Amino acid sequence: MARIVDVHARRVWDSRGRATVEAEVILKGGRGRAIAPAGASTGAGEARALDADQAVRNVNGPIRDALLGVDARFQEAVDAKLVALDGTPDRSRFGANAIVAVSLACLHASAAAAKKPLWRHLAGERRVAMPVPQVQIFGGGAHARGSVDLQDYLVICPGAGSFGESLEWIAEVYRAAGARLAKRGALAGVADEGGWWPAFKSNEEGLAELVGAISDAGFEPGPEVAIALDVAASHFYRGGRYHLSRDNRTLTSEQLHAMWLRWLDAYPIVSLEDPFAETDHEAMRAFTRAAGARVQLVGDDLFVTSAARLDPALANAVLLKPNQVGTVTETLACWQGAQEKGMRAIVSARSGETEDVSIVHLAVGWGVPQLKVGSFARSERMAKWNEGLRIEEALGNKALLYPAARLFGRKQASGR
């Protein structure tokens, strides 16, 4: 019942109106479907996507031929076949967009054949907890044409008691932030991931405005609603210096290190993602030594979802993006490697997203404690938050939210 009888791909569109790949894997006992996302901010070590038309042809040709008759229940074997068939370290023969769509579709098909929701299929009998949402409020960097240098200003709700309550609180903060910007004439629109596109005069102004929005929404900055930053520092790193165009400043690694420490003291920041360039390992090491005990330091471009690249001396958390590495199995290996090394993890969407909700099921089913899918607007984002609500409802009185206090235990600066 779980043998693959057909594999088919088509060209569909992502949230930026760019072509991408949707794959279907058909079994005698069920079928699965998945769509490949795409990032605007990409690490140098990411698996390589191809033109969508070429990727679709690769799925409908050699990938289909190789998978016919394969037992979809054995995801690791399916993914190993895909990797071997491609034969390149960066998935550039068939395209990471082709491979990840097929890998995820196979996982969905296997769950359908087992007549289980995907999250339960992944979790087995293990008790699950809902991941803590991490939600963009202001977009910048590559997501808003450099309106500010930092890529994402996000919020996390350490004080919320459930996944649903977290989203309720974040909705209030999101609306309050938009109202504040509109009142000041500083609202330029909506960024790639649904966050507000701000017209800030400095990068730090974004932090002050976010603290203000949290307070305006009726929450205590820090204990109830805290801040996370996705810096994506590689994008303003040139010639061994960090060029903050919004601040009209050029900083050394040491100066940027000092700025981050000052911000940690002044604002309720609980997570920093890629605070230094992916190649600036010395700076990451020094900052992890100095601040790793007080803040979550996340490697995205730094680790590109590769288990082989994980190094707790560089960061204490990793972002997990299936299309960044190519297959479900490799993504899971990165999560397992992070656990073995005592590192935290966040399952993450991409800036070019679709209605596909696979990553929500991966986060819940694998027990990854955090989920980041962009902002609290635009249907490609809300599809994922709403899927989380459905899963939480299905859990009923067994529904638990991963305890944020275990992730962000220290008392944060209020910023007020």
Going along the chain from its start, the domains and CATH numbers come out as 4-115 (3.30.390.10), 132-407 (3.20.20.120)
Catalytic machinery residues: 193, 321
Encoded tokens for 292: 């790793």
Say how far apart CA 351 and CA 40 lie, in whole Å.
6
Q: 145: left (phi > 0), else alpha (psi -120 to 50), else beta?
A: left
Q: What are the respective helix, strand and coil percentages of the chain, to the nearest 5?
A: 40, 20, 35
Using the predicted structure, report yes or no on whether residue 416 has a pLDDT greater than 50: no
What values do phi and psi take at 349, rounded to 5? -80, -175
Joined together, the tokens standing for residue 360 give 């929500």
Tell me: the pLDDT tens digits for 62-110?
999 999 999 999 999 999 999 999 999 999 999 999 999 999 999 999 9
* Res 406: pLDDT: 77
pLDDT for the residue 411: 46
The pTM assigned to this predicted structure is 0.95
**Average pLDDT value for residue range 326-352:** 97
Identify which of 19, 415, 416 has the alpha carbon closest to the alpha carbon of residue 229. 415
Residue 397 above 90 pLDDT?
Answer: no
pLDDT, mean over the chain: 94
pLDDT of the residue at 97 = 97
If phi over 0 gives left and psi between -120 and 50 gives alpha, with beta otherwise, what is residue 91? left
Q: Where are the beta strands (DSSP E) in 150-207?
A: 152-156, 187-190, 196-198
Is it the case that residue 412 has pLDDT exceeding 60? no
CA-based nearest residue to 166, from 197, 202, 215, 133? 133
